[in-house]
Structure 1
Amino acid sequence: MLGLDDISKMILNEVADITDEPKGAYNFRVNSGLAGRNTTENINIVSKENGSGIDIFIKPGTKGEDVHIPVVISESGVKEKVYNDFFIGDDCDVTIVAGCGIDNCGAHDSQHDGIHRFYVGKNSRIKYVEKHYGSGNGDGKRILNPVTEVYMEENGVMEMEMEQIKGVDSTDRMTIAELKAGAKLLIKERLMTHGNQTAVSGYKVSLNGEGSTADVVSRSVARDTSEQTFNACIAGNAPCSGHTECDSIIMDSGKILAIPSLEANNVDAMLVHEAAIGKIAGDQLIKLMTLGLTEAEAEQQIINGFLS
């Protein structure tokens, strides 16, 4: 596939479910260089003049097409900051698959900071999938710091799936969204940390238009001595509805800080937040163990179901 080595192929499979050259538009970035690109009649990808990222232009009315823009780092010591801007026309219905994987077998830290900005046109529907993954047996860290900005026009819909399950030593994620009238934002975050990993997830959603809605849901598991912080704020600046929810399982000596917050700046803003942190219930473990599973296997089954 595009002359990539086995490690790059493995990471692409993990973060973007890619096992062969994908159909449609794509841009593969490997160790800070362009490894492959394809455009279509409706989707154009252009490198920024300063080399710091790409611009993706999706024509109005584009439907049923996919865009893949995964990033792979397989060399120790690579550090980069990339800006990717998406200009999505009116009346579109497309899927965008991003994600970054770092395989670090060396002594130096490897780091990817990705800033994605989405300008979503009127009546467009976007599904955005972003997976993060780390591997490698080196002493160098695997660091991912994504920033996502979403600016939605009237009646746009954006579904975001954010997943980080394995191998990332440190992450600091920030998502900012501004919604106009009738726009809808749905975010599902799945996160697991282990060892001495740290993870920070921040969300700031501004519901600026009448009838705009947002639903921000996080599921996380903190194992070993890892630490997590979830900080989500929904601001209702018009007649709107918003909901944020954080459910977490804490294990071993893990630490979790959940900070859901609401800002109501309009009398017709309807906002709700929920947060729950707890350990795996003993009766759940016992029930699965009576079916022949070991305690470790039972724990894993519960975690898999919780994060699905």
Structure 2
Amino acid sequence: MLTMMQNLLKTIADLPELNYGAYNLRANGKGVQQHSTDNISITSKIGIPGIDIKVKPGAKGEVAYIPVVVTESGVNDMVYNDFEIGENADVTIIAGCGIHNDGCDASQHDGIHRFHLCPGARLKYVEKHYGEGEGTGDRILNPTTIVQMEEGSYCEMEMVQIGGVTSTMRKTDAHLGKDAKLVMTEKLLTHGSQTAHSDVTVNLDGEDAALQIISRSVAKDTSVQVFHPIAIGNTKSRAHVQCDSIIMDDARVSSIPEITANHALAQIVHEAAIGRINNEQLLKLQTFGLTEEEAETVIVNAFLD
């Protein structure tokens, strides 16, 4: 049990255990470990599952880990997490969820994450999702992310689905104030009969707000993906949305970028491309001694890197 949890922590948060700094570990629907620091306060909510994370104004170079692991079949977990990043603070938050399901019942983790970035705050948020196990039970992850950015704040979000997740419904809603900038990168791999649906809506409300969304996905076997980003320029602002997908086997991919300008000085651009792996790349790698399957793996990993 412990080794299984350590392996999941290594995969989703790049560490085998939590024993230093600011962290909160949730396992099988319950809080297990928690630790605050002088600059980052982590407290459990009262009455509902979840945590409050507060980063002190002016804190620099801080890192917090908040992973979730599920190692039992039949778990249905829901959390409500609130983050307040203080004025001019600079912090990295490593999140993510790993599910190991060897049973026949579905294991599911849903989360509503609300971020408030105060003026001048900087946040890097990394969220990795991963599923594994020999059981027939589904591994389900449904994250909802809500972001409120005040003047001059900066937010970088990296949303990664490594593999093994039966189904996911991702929802992101963001509002950007004056001079705020959001950079969002989504990397997604599906295989088998898995499904993945991602809805992203960003309102650029403040003057000179900026948005960049980059989505890269690979769909294999009979899996289905839908990516629906919406960028709305409500004042002088700029946004760029880019969606690139590799489709293999009998998979299906839909990319539906949507842009709206409600102001004459809103500059919003979108690009979308879906295609198969380039045959010339496959042949070139095979000349180095790789099999076709090995060559495909190299190309897919490089694409998602």
- TM-score when normalising by structure 2: 0.99
CA distance in structure 1 between the aligned counterparts of 2:278 and 2:7, rounded to whole angstroms = 35
Aligned to 1:89: 86
Q: Which moved more, 1:290-299 or 1:21-30?
A: 21-30
CA distance in structure 1 between the aligned counterparts of 2:103 and 2:303, rounded to whole angstroms = 34
Aligned to 2:197: 200
CA distance in structure 1 between the aligned counterparts of 2:17 and 2:177, rounded to whole angstroms = 38
Correspondent of 1:103 among 70, 83, 100: 100
Deviations 1:42-71, CA, capped at 9 Å, x for gaps: 111111111410111111111111110000
Q: Which moved more, 1:70-79 or 1:30-39?
A: 30-39
Q: Which moved more, 1:13-22 or 1:153-162?
A: 13-22
Correspondent of 2:16 among 4, 16, 19: 19
Q: Note if 1:266 corresponds to 2:273.
A: no
Correspondent of 1:61 among 58, 64, 69: 58
Amino acid at match of 2:216: R
- Residue 33 of structure 1: how far off its partner (Å): 1.2
SS at match of 2:119: coil
Unaligned runs of 5+ in 1: none
Deviations 1:218-256, CA, capped at 9 Å, x for gaps: 000000000000000000001000011110000000000
Aligned to 1:234: 231
CA distance in structure 1 between the aligned counterparts of 2:201 and 2:304, rounded to whole angstroms = 23
Aligned to 1:77: 74
Deviations 1:11-51, CA, capped at 9 Å, x for gaps: 11111011243531100001111111110111111111114
Aligned to 1:132: 129
Q: Which moved more, 1:218-227 or 1:41-50?
A: 41-50
Aligned to 1:52: 49
Aligned to 1:178: 175
Q: How does 1:157-172 map to 2 (within 5 A)?
A: 157-172=154-169
Q: Which runs of 4+ in 1 moved over 6 A?
A: none
Q: CA RMSD in A?
A: 0.8
Q: Which moved more, 1:44-53 or 1:65-74?
A: 44-53
Aligned to 1:8: 5
- TM-score when normalising by structure 1: 0.98
CA distance in structure 1 between the aligned counterparts of 2:62 and 2:6, rounded to whole angstroms = 23
Aligned to 1:221: 218
Q: Please say if residues 48 and 80 of structure 2, whose CA atoms lie closer than 8 Å, have aligned partners that are also in contact.
A: no
Query: How many residues in Structure 1 have an aligned counterpart in Structure 2?
Result: 305
Aligned to 1:277: 274
Aligned to 1:300: 297
Correspondent of 1:243 among 228, 237, 240: 240
SS at match of 2:256: strand
Amino acid at match of 2:5: S
SS at match of 2:229: strand
CA distance in structure 1 between the aligned counterparts of 2:162 and 2:97, rounded to whole angstroms = 12
Q: Please say if residues 9 and 17 of structure 2, whose CA atoms lie closer than 8 Å, have aligned partners that are also in contact.
A: no
- Residue 289 of structure 1: how far off its partner (Å): 0.8
SS at match of 1:154: coil
Amino acid at match of 1:194: H
CA distance in structure 2 between the aligned counterparts of 1:209 and 1:147, rounded to whole angstroms = 23
Amino acid at match of 2:59: T
Amino acid at match of 1:150: V
SS at match of 1:9: helix
Amino acid at match of 1:10: N
Unaligned runs of 5+ in 2: none
CA distance in structure 1 between the aligned counterparts of 2:269 and 2:102, rounded to whole angstroms = 44
Amino acid at match of 2:234: N
SS at match of 1:99: strand
Amino acid at match of 1:255: R
Correspondent of 1:291 among 288, 291, 294: 288
Q: Which moved more, 1:130-139 or 1:4-13?
A: 4-13
Q: Which moved more, 1:276-285 or 1:20-29?
A: 20-29
Q: Note if 1:43 corresponds to 2:40.
A: yes
